[in-house]
Structure 1
Amino acid sequence: MYRTLELSARARLITPGYQELPLTVTLRYDSADPLAVHIDFPVEVSVDGEGVTWTFSRTLLDEGLDNPAGIGEVHLWPCGPTRTVVELHSPHGLAVVRFRTAQLQRFLHRSYGLVAPGMEDLGPAVERGLALLLGGV
């Protein structure tokens, strides 16, 4: 049986002029997709007026809490002893979001309560991927 964890988190969106806009996002983990975490952003901060979800590796979140981590579209790094920055790159531009590290740690540890690190069942994900590659559902 799959379970989903959702945690509301306060964050600060850092604008190009270094203004900080408060926002509330939803951190989400679904045991059906055990390697990924999701950040759901509200409609108010999207370019096209629709909610936006970013998905990236749970391992990347874990690494980024202690050390700079990430390549490509998602980067994370500690920002002082109590904050973590998540940098998101898209064709529409760059978003820099700062979180309290404790919120991200709490979310990560709760996700480990659903699926412990190293215990992810990848069978269903592999089957879905193969079906997509081979023209199936």
Structure 2
Amino acid sequence: MSTVIEQAFQARLVASAPRMETVPATLRYDREDPYAVSMAFPPPATLEGVEVSWAFARELLAEGVDGPAGIGDVRVRPYGYDRTVVEFHAPEGVAVVHIRTSELRRFLERAQRLVPAGREHQYLDWEGL
């Protein structure tokens, strides 16, 4: 059984101009880092022109699809019917993306099958730490 889940999806990047641009992105979950997920954006979707990846708590993503979650660099909240907003706060500014909630739920279900919530500690490499 694979220990890594990756799921490509399309995100709508909310820009300061009144337009929404669709960008490809990838969600990733690795059983070797059981508490975290990452969301990566390819070079054309970033200001720096290089791939950018944000890592944050899987629990934050799970909570954010049902209600506002997060007070730090990453914040997640529902938006309308079947959309979830993910905000990334950095010194350079804030990036806001809209993602289909159904895609996030599918990803979280796959991660749950790999490592059940509440059992993450059983998958930590204590000797490697």
Structure 1: which 5+ residue stretches go unaligned? 129-137
Q: What are the within-5 Å matches in structure 2 for residues 67-78 of structure 1?
A: 67-78=67-78
The residue that corresponds to 1:37 in the other structure is 37
Give the Cα separation in 2 of the matches to 1:32 and 1:125.
11
Matched, 1:58 2:63: no
Give the Cα separation in 2 of the matches to 1:71 and 1:126.
32
RMSD of equivalent CA atoms: 1.6
The residue that corresponds to 2:21 in the other structure is 21
Shift of 1:127: 5.1
Cα shift readout 1:103-132 (whole Å, capped 9, x = no counterpart): 00000000011101111126426853xxxx
Shift of 1:2: 6.6
Q: What percentage of residue pairs aligned between the two structures are identical? A: 44
The residue that corresponds to 2:108 in the other structure is 108
Give the Cα separation in 2 of the matches to 1:77 and 1:17.
22
Contact 1:87/1:95 (8 A) holds in 2: yes
2:76 partner letter: L
1:77 partner letter: R
Give the Cα separation in 1 of the matches to 2:109 and 2:28.
12
Give the Cα separation in 2 of the matches to 1:125 and 1:83.
37
- The TM-score, its normalising length taken from structure 2, stands at 0.93
Structure 2: which 5+ residue stretches go unaligned? none
Q: CA 1:44/1:125 → structure 2, altered by over 3 Å: closer, same or farther?
A: farther
